[in-house]
A and B are shown apart, each in its own frame.
Chain A
């Protein structure tokens, strides 16, 4: 074949074929462009664009859910492992305790546990100390003699020494010669004008008869300090009371009013009141009863 044949074939066949293909391609491309332009304007393309974010969100949601479930699963596994660890620690501690108690590693039988001897409490008998028997000491009222101030009128006490007094009439710190204490052992002399003895807590005798009426009040107290006797009270038709014996040692009046005792005057037939004594029985209220025995010797 010659070169002329080659050129002729190219001109007649190859180039016209190539141009035809190109023209066909152009037509095809134009059709594709038209299709694409048509699709882009259609609803399919718009919906596809809207589906892309939704699909992406769905994928993210599922990934998150799966990850959350996996995390929970791992956390539960960790909790179970913690429980197992604690149980195993308990077992280890129990085994260690048994080992420490028995001294060996054998705790198969209950006899393996060795009982440690315990100290028995000693029964110590307590010796009670000897207790002295209580013995009551009698009350010594004389111990109070010479203390305190006598309550009551000294004059009356001096006149009626049988009156129960707990202490002699002594006033300390004063230039006063106290008379001797009344003798309780001597029988009380009868006195008609002496006031009733002071009742030291003892109730007055309401059974006694009323005092005799002399028709005149009792004479006033004798003068103190050896002064002249006071004038006799005026007589109201009644005989004057017997004069008082001289009583130079009478206590001063001390500007005090005579004690006003509510008790009635003593009866002439009645025995003097007994001395104040707790242990002595009360004297019988009998007119014929003898006077109480002397208490102070």
Chain B
């Protein structure tokens, strides 16, 4: 209390306290921005994994379809000859 009363009474000490408070507020803002950016990056990573899985599944289906199509084409070609 004596220090606070002294700081409140001293104009230089009050100015320093306001500066420290503003500095903490700026740090809080920077921390929030950083956390949100990390969340965005995490979402992008998950999205990348999901998209890769879907693409792999589609690729597998396309491969199966291509094989079946080749078999049917070969059967039709052999029947027409």
Chain A residues in contact with chain B, CB under 8 A? Answer: 40, 49, 52-53, 56-57, 59-60, 63-64, 67, 70-71, 74-75, 77-78, 81-82, 84-85, 88-89, 91-92, 95, 105-108
Contact = CB atoms under 8 A, between A and B. Distances in A.
Interface in B7-22: 22
Interface string B64-76: 1100110110011
Contacts of A56: 33, 36-37, 40
A95 B33 CA distance: 62
A88 B68 contact: yes
Given A56-B37, A78-B57, A49 B79 contact: no
B44 A52 contact: no
A40 B19 CA distance: 11
Contacts of A82: 61
A88 B61 contact: no
B36 to A, nearest CB: 5
B36 A60 contact: yes
A60 B57 CA distance: 27
Contact of B40 (A59, A89, A91): A59
Nearest to B26: A49
B65 A67 contact: no
Contacts of B65: 81, 84-85, 88
B51 A74 contact: yes
Contacts of A71: 50-51, 54
Contacts of B75: 95, 105
Given A60-B36, A108-B79, A74 B72 contact: no
A34 to B, nearest CB: 15
B54 A78 contact: yes
B62 A81 contact: yes
A60 B40 contact: yes
B44 A63 contact: yes
B24 interface: no
27 contacts: A40-B22, A49-B26, A49-B29, A52-B29, A53-B29, A53-B32, A53-B33, A56-B33, A56-B36, A56-B37, A57-B36, A59-B40, A60-B36, A67-B44, A70-B51, A71-B54, A74-B51, A74-B54, A74-B58, A75-B54, A78-B61, A81-B58, A81-B61, A84-B65, A85-B65, A107-B79, A108-B80
A172 to B, nearest CB: 100
A161 B69 CA distance: 112
Nearest to A56: B36
Given A81-B58, A85-B64, 19 more contacts: A40-B22, A52-B33, A67-B44, A70-B47, A70-B51, A71-B50, A71-B54, A74-B54, A74-B55, A78-B61, A81-B61, A81-B65, A85-B61, A85-B65, A85-B68, A92-B71, A95-B72, A105-B78, A106-B79
B79 A77 contact: no
Contacts of A60: 36, 39-40, 43
Contact of A88 (B43, B44, B72): B72
A106 B72 CA distance: 13
A89 B69 CA distance: 10
A67 B47 contact: yes
B40 A105 contact: no
A74 B52 CA distance: 10
